[in-house]
Each structure stands twice: as structure tokens, then as C-alpha cells.
Amino acid sequence: MKKTIFVSFLGLLMLMAHSQDKPNNTPTPNYRAAAKFSPTNLAKLVHSTSVNPHWLKNGNRFWYQYKTTEGSKYYLVDADKRTKTELFDNEKMARWLTEITKDPYDAQHLPRFDFKFVKNETAIQFRVTSTEKVEVTEDEDEKTTVETDSTKTKKKPKKPKMENKVYHFEYQLGSNSLTLLDNKKKDKEDWKKWANIAPDSSIVLFSKHHNLYWMDKENFLKAVKNEKDTTIVENQWTTDGEEHYSYGGSSGRGETNESKIKEKDDRKSIYGLWSHDSKKFVFQKSDSRHIKDLWVINTTSDKRPTLETYKYHMPGEDEFYKYEMIVFDIPTKGMTKVALDTTKQQSIQVYREPIKNSDRDDDFKPALLLSKKGDIYFNTISRDRKKLDICVADMNTGEVKTLIEERFNTYIETRPLVLFNNETEMLHWAERDGWAHYYLYDTKGNLKNQITKGSFHVESAIGVDEKTRTLYFTAHGIPKDQDPYYEQLYKINLNGSGLKSLNPGDFSTNTSMADSNMFFVSNYSRVNTVPKSELRNSSGNVVMQLEEADLSQLMAAGYQFPEPFKMKADDGITDIYGVMYKPFDFDETLKYPLLQYVYPGPQTEAVNKSFSLGMDRLDRMAQVGFIVVTLGNRGGHPDRSKWYHNYGYGNLRDYGLADKRHVAEQLADAYNFIDIEKVGIYGHSGGGFMSTAAMLVYPDFFKAAVSSAGNHDNTIYNSWWSETHHGVQEEIDDNGNVKYKYMIDTNQSLAKNLKGKLMLITGDVDNNVHPGGTIRMAEALIKANKRFDFMLMPGQRHGFGNMTEYSFWLRADHFSKHLLGHEIEEVDITEMNRDTPKTKG
């Protein structure tokens, strides 16, 4: 007996010795690598990755700024002449600025310019702020008198205010000198917060005390100079406005109850659309008085914690926003109501004229009605989002005519209406055959023909050439041998013939077209290629190569491109597209835990298609020691079929999880370095919701999760998102009253299923996804006697703001501990402190 025990004990010692000799095949957390590729450090390694053209009004010309490791340069491109020239010589500009301002400049370190083209676009003006201090020059009406003791004759000396000197320059393009115009700083533009200026600048509208006010140009110019000028004449137009049933003003979101009182007499903005002749103003008035309040408490902003109260409509609640549309006549100061049924629970959108690319840099961009003839084109969408009506209203009488009706059993999506051909024709975007396409109508509502057809998704109209009757549009999925999410530019005749790709290639593109539709800038890349930019014409021919991103420092730092992949969904049929991110010191002999970064949509999927600097949650997370993947799921991105996009309708909690799990298993089968026994999942907002759901629906598969700002309980999330993508049932009771029934599975109902390691994070003043959703999840876990981690981000809204970096390291710690077996015990987050200058006590 004793011998047997001795032999067994000896065998155990040998087994232990053997296990100690066996190399550990789990990576060690590499926090230094993750810190190396922080957003702050990346900004030093990568600069411009695309060309952002600023189109000019004369000819097919644009300017752009492009930054590389050699500094920034500014270019002027004339597409008609096929020329690209430097807007100015950097070395000469540096010399001129140094000579005039007495501050040192060199060609690689010029300030970031905010150009204004003048003199028929032959010259540019800009301002530069010097380090030199000068006395502040106050206008006469801004000066304040110094109170003196009546017994004294001398005033107390007043120390002059000082400010940095400003230089206002003009440079004539192609010249050999820089002209100093003056030393005036840019005028204060506080008026932009409240002034809605008519297109002809004759009148300015604003909101005050919940009502509509106006002032003429003369008085507005006084307000531009000094808002507190007591001689300004304001004119009250309406008298029936009240809080939550007002003419403009703020929604209350983000305001404390104290700030509301403090700012109650301030001028506030009013949004609406102007007729092109400036004689009419169309305003949508919303009645939310009956909508229930929601609150957050900001405990860190002021001396006393402050309460924020705002209206927030939750799914299934019978109350709903009531909308009115009012036309204000500027000359007569009359008002006309558009004939809308305010008892219907519906949303209203008035179509506006798109801003021309050549107008985007203008200081003054009035919001104009789509129609130049004064008609009001708008749409209404029912509460259940299944009924869309496109309508036109007579601006003078308020009478409404329905032009187009769309009906569907799931939610209906929209794109802006396009008017053309002297407003006799229009383009309507719809998914009525299961794919997004454009339809040609006359403006009386008669269908002429379907323009685009096929198993692909049309994204949006870019322009219409009326002479050649050509539509330019972006689309996804036309080449069947490419990733269907890649966006490219196409043209097609309005009769549906002549479909042609204008920037073909196995890339995703981002385009900007000249107002003439003759040329466009195409920025193209994949996640695993260097971004490039080129200029093409309307036939798709390359006019010139513009730029190639400078990734030299990034690559020298050890960066490696991620790897796109394609797998099958849980049905074994649907293609799922994803991207894999590896540690840059990847060792194929190791077994890496697998992390999934998720965002369920359905309005998007968190899968990059082009090279991006937004690597904080992906590339950087992989550096800690993980294989990180992002992938789509049925019910995700809208850029595929409507079947794919609406797959999760009615099952908003669970619809994407089977695909996430199934693809992870396929990846582990394909790659030996993936440890399928150590799968983690994380996400923010909808991703926070999805990552926790994954832990509870598949508790034996997903072993760890970090869920931030998650809408775990969609019954208290906003009605638009929940009712749109999950669905709400309209019912009529015995008395004929319309009721709405909303039933959805919540994460907390499955709290008892938790087996893995879960961390919940929320901001305490998140007024989008209320912290109550995370707190309810925590309550359910506590009642189920579960251990979990919980972090409250003080003073943070939905995006975590200046605590985003801190939240990254919380996530790194959590997965390092539970998937890599290495717990970080230091109190300091060394990686955050290491590069911070210690200049203050």
C-alpha cells in the first residue's frame, strides 16, 4: 500500500516537472506595443490619407492641403487645364511671415491656414496669430466706465488687457510678395449661435422666450458688433410659444436646470428652410409637452451636483411628438399652417436644396427649400416606420398632395428627393424590389421608369446632367467578385441604359464631384493598401494622380496591414465579410485568444473597408496579445440586400450572435494560432449591448467581455432606434384609440446565464444611452449572485470624452487577466503616465 502511494506521488512529481519544462504557448501582454500605437502617437506617424478638395466657383478648379512627413503643402488643381501647382512656395511664405511678424517660420512648419479666396479667386486672404502681445482695442460701445468714489477726483488706474497680435494677409496667386492688409482680428461670431439670416440678408430670425422674433439688417449689424447693444430693436412675431412647444430654441439635452434659468433671456437659434426669394420661411414646430422627462445628474461640473432634465421618448409609449408645419410670410408677417393631420403619430422631413460643393467653404450658407418655385416637398413616415408618403404642399394655401406612397412590412428607409429639368421630374430612392434603386417620376407623382436595376445597393445620387440625361451615383455590390461593401461611383442614363463604373478597381472609394459633373476626386484604398487619390473625368478616365499617403514612419514603427477575410454565416449560405488584426510581433507558434469587436448596427457594421487611423479599438487592442476580428452579421449593414439588412427585425437582441460564434469557429479551423477556448468580445453602445448578450446567450463560448455604454434594456432606449429596427405593433382598442405594443428581450432577463468574466462601463451623464440601462444590468447580475466588474465614468457622455484612453486600458487589463492569465497589479497605469510631461506638481 505504501509502495503504491509512493509510486503515484513520484509520477505526480514527474508530471509537474514535465509541465514546467513545456513552453507556455500563450502570449505575454505587450502593453508597451499598445501604448506605442496610441492615437496621440499615431498622429505623429501618419498625416494625410485622402484629398479633401475645396472646389472653387470659377471653372473646374479646387485647392487642397496634404500633409506628409515633410510637412504640409497646399495645391491648386485646374482640371480643365490638367494642371496641379503649389498654391504658394512654402519657403517663400515662411520667409515673408518671419519678416513681417518677427516670429520664426520655416517651410515644414507653417501654421494651418484658413483660406478665403477673393478677387474673382485670383488671391487668397488669411490670418496669422503672432506671439507678440498688444493692448486690446475696444470699440466705443464695448468700453466700460470705472466707478470712482464720489469724494475722489482721480480714477483708479486700470491695467490694459493684452492679447496676441493678429496679422491679416493677402497673397496674389503667382506673385512674389505677401501683402499685410491690417491687424484686425476676425470679428466675433457669437451671432452664429442664434441668427437665421434670410438669403438676401434683409431679415434675421431667431428664438427668444420660446417665440419667434425678427430684426432687420440694420439692427442685426449692431448685434454683430455688440450683442448687448441696448439700442437694438427686436420684433416679436409669435406669442403662443412655450417650453417644449416653442419656435426654435434648444431641446434641453445637455443643459442643466441652472443654465436654463441663467440663459432664459438669451437669443436662441431657430431652424427652418427659406424660399429662394427670401419671402417665405418654413418651420416645423414640435409639441413634446406630453413627452415624459428623463434626467441625469452631473456631479463633477459645478460646485453643486446639477440636474439635467430633458424630454425622452421611449419605445412603446403611447405619447408621441406632434408636428406642425408653419409658413411665415416675411413681407406681411402672416402665418399659414400646412394641412397636416396632427393626430397621426408620424415623423416629418422637409427636403432641402443640397449645398453645392463650390459653396461649402462659404461663410453664409442659408438653408433653402428644395424647390426654387416655392413648393414644399416633404415626407411623412408613420410611427411604425412601415408607411412613407412623399408629399408637396402649396406654400400659400397650405394644401397638401401625396405624390408617392411606399409600404413595407419592415421599416422603410429614405434618401433625399432630387428635383431637376425645371422641376418637372424627380428621382426617388426606394427598396421596393428588395434592393435600393432610383426611380424616375414626374412631379405629379407618375412613375416613368425604374432607372437602376439588379442585385446591388444604390447609395446616393451625386449629380444629374440634364443635357445628356445622365445620373451619377454611388453604389455597392455591382462587381460580383468584390467585397459588396466597397463603394464606387457610376453613371447611367435616366432610361436605365448605359450603366458604367467610373472608378473601377478592387477598392472602396470616397468621391467628391465638381458641380459641373465633369470631374471628380477619387480617394481609394482597402484596409491592407496604401491610400491613394486621383482626379478622373465624367467618362471615368484618369486625368492625373494626386497623392499617395505617406506611411513610411508608420511602417518603420512596425505597423502591418490587417487581413480581410470572408466566411459563411450560421446558415451556411450567406457570405460574411470581416477583417483580422494581429499583433505586429505575431508568433505563429503561439496560441492567441480571439477578441471580437462588435457593433450590431443595423445602420452599420463595425468593419473597416478602407485604411483608417481609427485603430484604437482594433490594431491597438491586438498589440496587447490578441487576434482581434471585426465581422458583419445577418441583420447588419444596409449596403447589401434589404433581406440582409432587415434579418434582425423583431429579434434585436439575438439576431447577430449565431454568426459571430460560427465565424469564430471557422477562423479557428482555418488558423492554428487561434485559441477557440479563449474567445472574448467587446463593444460600445450597441456593441456594449451585443457583447453582453453574447456572454449570456452563448455562455460556454464567449469567456470574457467588456461592454461600454450599452443599451442593455431597449425598453428605456430612444424610440426611434428601437421601434425602427426591432418593430412596434400598432393596435386599436375597443374605443378606437391607437395603442402601441413593444416587446423586446433584454439582457438582464438572462443574467442567470453568466459564466464568463464581464465588465460593464457607463458614463454617468450619458443622455443618449441612459446609464440606467447599465445599472439595470448590474442589478440583475447582483440579484443572480454573479461576480462582475463595474466602472462609472464621472462626468462623461456617451463617448467617454477625455476618459476614452482610460477606458482602453481598463479593457486591456480585463482581457489580459482573464484570457492571457496575467493580472496587472500596479496602481499606476504606467502607459498613460510614461509620456506625460511632469511639469506641474
Q: Do residue 84 and residue 232 come from a single domain? A: no
Closest alpha carbon to 216 in 233, 199, 191: 233
Within a domain: 11: no
Of 147, 171, 188, the one marking the end of a domain is: 188
pLDDT in tens, 290-304: 999 999 999 998 788
Contact 668, 676 (CB under 8 A): yes
Query: Position of cell 517663400?
Result: 92
Cβ atoms within 10 Å of 133's Cβ, excluding its own: 10
In the chain, what is the straight-line distance between the N-terminal and C-terminal CA atoms, in Å?
70
Phi-psi region of 322 (alpha: psi -120 to 50; beta: other; left: phi over 0): beta
| pLDDT-derived band at 616, boundaries 50, 70, 90 | low
- The C-alpha atoms of residue 447 and residue 308 are separated, in whole angstroms, by 49
**Is it the case that residue 731 has pLDDT exceeding 90?**
no
Looking at the fold, whether 253 and 182 belong to one and the same domain comes out as: no
Flag whether 145 is in a domain.
Answer: no
- If asked whether residues 281 and 355 sit together in one domain, one would say yes
Q: Is the pLDDT of residue 17 over 70?
A: no
Q: Is residue 669 situated within a structural domain?
A: yes
Confidence label for 615 from pLDDT (cuts 50, 70 and 90): low
DSSP string, 163-208: EEEEEEEEEETT-S--EEEE-PPPPP-GGGGT-EE-TTSSEEEEEE
Are both 598 and 739 inside the same structural domain? Answer: yes
Q: Same domain for 230 and 286? A: yes
CATH number at residue 496: 2.120.10.30
Please check whether residue 443 is in contact with residue 403, taking contact to mean a CB–CB distance below 8 angstroms. yes
Are 90 and 105 within one domain?
A: yes
The reply to whether 367 and 322 lie within a common domain is yes
| 8 assigned to some structural domain | no
Tens digit of pLDDT for each residue in 387-445?
999 999 999 999 999 999 999 999 999 999 999 999 999 999 999 999 999 999 999 99
Comparing 12-21, 37-46, 614-623, the range with the smallest average pLDDT is 12-21
**Grid cell at residue 476:** 455597392
Per the listing, cell 512529481 goes with 13
Name which residue leads in pLDDT, 150 or 453.
Answer: 453
- In a domain? residue 45: no
pLDDT digits (tens, 9 = 90+) for 558-591: 999 999 999 999 999 999 999 999 999 999 999 9
pLDDT single digits (tens) 588-613: 999 999 999 999 888 888 899 999 87
Rounded-to-integer distance, Cα 189 and Cα 250, Å:
19
CB 547 within 8 A of CB 66: yes
More confident residue, 16 or 344: 344
Q: What is the CATH number of the domain that holds 284?
A: 2.140.10.30
Does 497 map to a domain? yes
Give yes or no: residues 360 and 410 share one domain: yes
What pLDDT shows up at residue 724?
A: 93
540 DSSP β-pair partners: none
Domain residues for the domain of 333 are 195-268+271-414
End of a domain among 414, 438, 467?
Answer: 414
* Residues 183 and 206 both lie in one domain: no
Average of per-residue pLDDT across 819-827: 93
Residue 61: count other Cβ atoms within 10 Å of its Cβ. 22
**754-807: pLDDT as tens digits:** 999 999 999 999 999 999 999 999 999 999 999 999 999 999 999 999 999 999
| Burial of residue 148 (number of CB atoms within 10 Å: 0-12, 13-18, 19+) | exposed
Q: Do residue 654 and residue 741 come from a single domain?
A: yes
Strand runs labelled E in 240-345: 273-274, 280-287, 293-298, 306-311, 322-329, 334-337
Number of domains in the chain: 4
Is the residue at 25 inside a domain?
Answer: no
Q: How confident is the model at residue 145 (pLDDT cuts 50, 70, 90)?
A: very low
User: Residue 590 in contact with residue 27, Cβ under 8 Å?
Assistant: yes
Cell numbers standing for residue 495: 432610361
- pLDDT at 14 exceeding the cut of 50: no
Give me the CATH number covering residue 806. Answer: 3.40.50.1820
**Cell numbers given for 213:** 422674433
Is residue 366 included in any domain, yes or no? Answer: yes
Q: Are residues 568 and 546 in the same domain?
A: no
DSSP annotation of 833? H
Residue 150 predicted with pLDDT over 80? no
Q: What percent of the chain has pLDDT over 90?
A: 82
Give mean pLDDT, residues 340-367. Answer: 94
Cα–Cα dist 520/510, whole Å: 10
Residues 450 and 584 in one domain: no
